[in-house]
């Protein structure tokens, strides 16, 4: 094998392992930059040696050609749907029907074990693997015939492109979905780009998966939960539980909270528990699927119409409701942008009374032609901000009594005359001292992802502003426990907690501080790119438009916008004060490819005497080194602790240098 072929193979193995750590174990050992560097190296090898490209190479996830239409695909085995149960009585009815069915076959008083799985609200797909390679993925369609979405499925990081120890053919079934957070972000982004928003995460996932161009799918974060197997050759399963275990072992994402239960009562209890917890799960579930575990029992129970007798869906109440849109009002965003929101006839959705819902922006609102007085459909799921997704079907029959609502001519908070800048989907309040704008800016500053100040949210920000205790972000850092404890509804203990959170926020990385500042055009991602490229606030403040525009994801127009805001005297004063308060204004660690351990690759194994593996990794990364998970000839150092096993043997065989903790610290200059 040539050196290039070997390196390509090794890179693929490493990338696959990092992918698994990132997506399945939620425990990445390298940063995005390092991952990209490995991927780039592999791309370069494959460019020079096209004969080395394999179908399951991580480079093949993106970059497939758009398709001209979605081809029809007949599923190797029909995809079923599920009968519903909405109460314990209906559940008992299901069990009774199964018992009766088996009794007719001569099996009296059958006992069942049940697998309880969350019923994810996405779309069902079938993925065929032939000889271990992903061959084709298709949507459910009508159950017999679906649509070929292979090009888009490949872009989903959690979908394995190949599987080890594979049978000749296997059809993996699962649900493709979009997390609630990703759904909300996608809708916000679409709203600010002036595009129509999606009704719910399921529509967003379906719309994405059915795109013809895989680049569009790659930009939108989809995920997969695998929950079963359809047709297969060369392997068989004796139970649902065994099937899930098999899938899990081969790298498919299988929900870790799926349980095997021994009685009906336990299954019902579990359904009720899932229902309770529904709002705190990061993706939308519309029920629980209960499946008889034993494959032989499943076979005997068979299928009625489209529904297998051996499974049932415990359905939750819907997360959409009908209510009346009483009025359309406007709130002021952190850049003065005016956001329309709906004042609703209060209605209970998923255990919470909803009174307000977002309308995204003027365009979305007029596209849906929403008017006060209309009946509307609202969606509230998990932590997603409630949204008005559409007028109810009969709203169009309104008899001319209502009129469309336009953006206000005056700011609803400070009464300044509003403006509608070209290229903006939002009408704006131009007054920089607008109280509404200040509130939004400060609420953003303390939010998660920005300074992440625990215990400090919108309500308290408003109170602090009203009492005149703060005017801007820097003032937060001069607050005292006594000042906070004197506020209505606040105890000494909570006050101490908030001061401690503010103190802790001083350790937030430079990228988060840049994001927190509330610079138009600097989101989380751009904040990170700017921090990585320019390294320090001084360099950033000194940078000219060209330099800023060259930052990935910025470009000339946004570059201009960012530069202007950074040049502003008020912004510079704020930065100066935050700096004096002790916030991070420099990027940690050397730029990628620099530092004392630049380009050195490390593998960690065993238990170190004082450092955890994460701490050791961080130190190596901070010095510019790379941490990978498997030992190869390219490994520069193996850091071995107590109970090091096969990795140590391999390192010795390959004559890779072995370090203990002391030697590592010495190498880092800390010894
Ligand atoms: S099993 C028994 N398991 O629910 C074969 N379906 O109404 C039927 N779904 O089309 C599918 N989570 O889209 C199964 N853990 C799960 C599921 C699940 C979500 C969806 C799937 C299916 C629909 C059935």
377/525 same-domain check: no
Who has greater pLDDT, 402 or 39?
39
Report how far residue 85's alpha carbon sits from residue 288's, in angstroms, rounded to the nearest whole number. Answer: 10
Report how far residue 198's alpha carbon sits from residue 190's, in angstroms, rounded to the nearest whole number. Answer: 9
Report how far residue 671's alpha carbon sits from residue 665's, in angstroms, rounded to the nearest whole number. Answer: 5
300-334 pLDDT, tens digit per residue, is 999 988 899 999 999 988 888 999 999 999 999 99
β-sheet bridge partners, residue 133: 130, 162
Half-sphere exposure of 576 (CA within 13 A, CB side): 7
Residue 595 lies in a domain: no
pLDDT reported for residue 131: 94
pLDDT reported for residue 244: 97
Looking at residues 600-624, what average pLDDT do you find?
82
Residue 376: pLDDT band (50, 70, 90) is: very high
Looking at residues 241-252, what average pLDDT do you find?
95
Looking at residues 219-247, what average pLDDT do you find?
95
Residue 381 in this model has a pLDDT that exceeds 90? no
Give percent above pLDDT 90 in the chain: 60
pLDDT reported for residue 63: 58
* Domain boundary residue, one of 470, 505, 540: 505
Residue 532 in this model has a pLDDT that exceeds 90? no
* Two tokens, residue 255: 């929900």
Residue 487 lies in a domain: yes
Pocket residue to mutate for ligand 1, from 85, 124, 231, most atoms within 8 A of Cβ:
124
Residue 663 lies in a domain: yes
330-359 pLDDT, tens digit per residue, is 999 999 999 999 999 999 887 789 999 999
Report how far residue 216's alpha carbon sits from residue 196's, in angstroms, rounded to the nearest whole number. Answer: 15
Task: Judge if the beta carbon of residue 284 lies within 6 A of ligand 1.
Answer: no
pLDDT reported for residue 548: 94
Residue 413: pLDDT band (50, 70, 90) is: very high
**pTM, rounded to two decimals:** 0.68
* Domain boundary residue, one of 505, 540, 565: 505
Specify the ligand 1 atom closest to the Cα of 311: 2
Residue 172 in this model has a pLDDT that exceeds 90? yes
Contact 590, 598 (CB under 8 A): yes
Give percent above pLDDT 70 in the chain: 97
Q: Which CATH number fits the domain that encloses residue 479?
A: 1.10.150.20
Helices (H), 120-170: 150-153
440/556 same-domain check: no
How many Å lie between the centroid of ligand 1 and the Cα of residue 198?
22
Task: Judge if the beta carbon of residue 146 lies within 6 A of ligand 1.
Answer: no
pLDDT reported for residue 400: 64
Residue 390: pLDDT band (50, 70, 90) is: confident
Place of tokens 């081809």: 71
How many Å lie between the centroid of ligand 1 and the Cα of residue 120?
8
Task: Judge if the beta carbon of residue 362 lies within 6 A of ligand 1.
Answer: no
557-568 pLDDT, tens digit per residue, is 899 999 999 999
pLDDT reported for residue 448: 87
28/113 same-domain check: no
359/305 same-domain check: no
- How many domains does the structure of the chain reveal? 6
pLDDT reported for residue 23: 75
Domain span at residue 325 reads: 318-394
Residue 209 lies in a domain: yes
Task: Judge if the beta carbon of residue 533 lies within 6 A of ligand 1.
Answer: no
2-55 pLDDT, tens digit per residue, is 899 999 999 999 988 888 777 776 677 787 778 888 888 998 999 899 899 888
296/247 same-domain check: yes
Helices (H), 550-612: 555-567, 569-581
């Amino acid at each position: 094998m040539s050196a290039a072929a070997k390196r390509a193979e090794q890179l693929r193995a490493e990338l696959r392992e990092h992918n698994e750590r990132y997506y399945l174990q939620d425990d990445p050992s390298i940063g995005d930059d390092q991952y990209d560097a490995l991927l780039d190296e592999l791309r370069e090898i494959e460019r020079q040696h096209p004969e080395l490209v394999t179908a399951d190479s991580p480079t093949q996830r993106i970059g497939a050609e758009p398709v001209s239409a979605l081809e029809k695909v007949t599923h190797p085995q029909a995809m079923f749907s599920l009968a519903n149960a909405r109460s314990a009585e209906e559940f008992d009815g299901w069990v009774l029907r199964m018992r009766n069915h088996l009794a007719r076959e001569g099996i009296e008083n059958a006992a069942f074990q049940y697998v309880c799985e969350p019923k994810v609200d996405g779309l069902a797909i079938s993925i065929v693997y032939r000889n271990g390679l992903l061959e084709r993925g298709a949507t459910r369609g009508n159950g017999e015939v679906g649509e070929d979405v292979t090009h888009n499925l490949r872009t989903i990081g959690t979908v394995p492109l190949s599987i080890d120890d594979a049978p000749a053919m296997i059809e993996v079934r699962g649900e493709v979905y979009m997390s609630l957070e990703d759904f909300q972000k996608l809708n916000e982004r679409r709203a600010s780009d002036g595009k129509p928003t999606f009704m719910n995460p399921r529509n967003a996932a379906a719309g994405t998966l059915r795109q013809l161009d895989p680049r569009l799918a790659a930009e939108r974060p989809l995920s997969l939960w695998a929950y079963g197997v359809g047709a297969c050759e060369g392997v068989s399963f004796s139970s649902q539980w065994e099937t899930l275990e098999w899938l899990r072992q081969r790298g498919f994402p299988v929900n870790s909270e799926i349980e095997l239960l021994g009685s009906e009562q336990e299954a019902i209890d579990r359904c009720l528990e899932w229902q309770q917890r529904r709002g705190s799960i990061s993706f939308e579930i519309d029920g629980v699927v209960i499946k008889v575990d034993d494959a032989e029992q499943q076979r005997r129970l068979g299928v009625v119409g489209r529904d297998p007798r051996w499974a049932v869906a415990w359905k939750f109440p819907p997360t959409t409701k009908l209510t009346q849109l009483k009025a359309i009002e406007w709130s002021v965003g952190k850049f003065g942008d005016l956001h329309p929101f709906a004042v609703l006839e209060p209605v209970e959705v998923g255990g919470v009374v909803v009174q307000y819902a977002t309308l995204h922006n003027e365009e979305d609102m007029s596209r849906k032609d929403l008017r006060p007085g209309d009946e509307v459909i609202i969606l509230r799921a998990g932590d997603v901000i409630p949204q008005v997704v559409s007028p109810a079907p009969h709203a169009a029959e309104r008899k001319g009594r209502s009129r469309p609502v336009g953006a206000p001519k005056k700011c609803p908070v400070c009464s300044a005359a509003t403006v509608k800048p070209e290229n903006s989907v939002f009408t704006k309040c131009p007054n920089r001292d607008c109280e509404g704008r200040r509130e939004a800016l400060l609420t953003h500053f303390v939010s998660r992802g920005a300074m992440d100040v625990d215990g400090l949210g919108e309500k308290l920000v408003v109170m602090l502003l009203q009492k005149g205790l703060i005017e801007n972000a820097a003032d937060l850092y001069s607050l005292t426990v006594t000042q906070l404890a004197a506020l209505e509804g606040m105890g000494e203990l909570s006050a101490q907690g908030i001061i401690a959170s503010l103190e802790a926020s001083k350790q937030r990385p430079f990228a988060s501080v840049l994001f927190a500042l509330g610079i138009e055009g600097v989101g989380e991602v751009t904040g990170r790119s700017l921090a990585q490229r320019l390294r320090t606030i001084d360099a950033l403040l000194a940078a000219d438009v060209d330099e800023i525009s060259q930052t990935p994801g910025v470009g000339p127009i946004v570059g201009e916008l960012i530069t202007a805001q950074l040049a502003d005297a008020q912004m510079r004063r704020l930065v100066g004060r935050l700096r004096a308060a002790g916030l991070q204004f420099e990027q940690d660690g050397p730029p990628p490819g620099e530092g004392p351990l630049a380009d050195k690759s490390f593998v960690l194994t065993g238990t170190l005497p004082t450092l955890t593996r994460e701490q050791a990794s961080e130190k190596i990364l901070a010095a510019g080194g790379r941490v990978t998970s498997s030992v190869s000839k390219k490994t520069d150092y193996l850091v071995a602790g107590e109970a090091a096993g096969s990795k140590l043997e391999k390192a010795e065989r390959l004559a890779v240098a072995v370090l203990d903790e002391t030697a590592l610290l010495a190498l880092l200059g800390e010894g």
